[in-house]
Amino acid sequence: MEHPRLIQGGMGIGVSLWKLARAISQAGQLGVVSGSGVENVLARQLQLGDPDGHLRRALRHFPAPAVAERILDTYLVEGGLSEKEPFRNPRRFTLDPTLGWLNSP
């Protein structure tokens, strides 16, 4: 197995664009986009209405359908929030699995 000569990283989801990581990967190297904070990006995009339906399509393929349904029930706002409505932030990850963001009320 040949290891990559170039590993590009440091790009966070919702912070940097994916195009650099894609270009590095297409050149046969390792391009990485961090998943740090993905729960916030997911919750906010759903509250903006997921206008292209990409997140709803992805969640239909999630291996735990009940979890996917709970995420949609909790965060999806059809048509999106108005400019004056605040976002509902998910709970933070924790070492106690009963307090995690999927268990938020």
* Predicted confidence pLDDT, tens digits, the chain (105 residues): 788 887 877 677 877 777 888 888 898 888 888 888 888 999 999 999 999 999 999 999 999 999 999 999 999 999 999 999 999 998 776 777 676 555 555
CB-CB contact of 31 with 24 (8 Å): yes
pLDDT of the residue at 23: 87
Nearest to 74 by CA among 32, 103, 37, 41: 103
pLDDT of the residue at 37: 83
Nearest to 105 by CA among 85, 82, 87, 89: 89
Count the Cβ atoms, other than its own, within 10 Å of residue 58: 12
Q: pTM of the full predicted structure? A: 0.71
Q: Which two tokens stand for residue 4?
A: 């990559």
Count the Cβ atoms, other than its own, within 10 Å of residue 95: 6
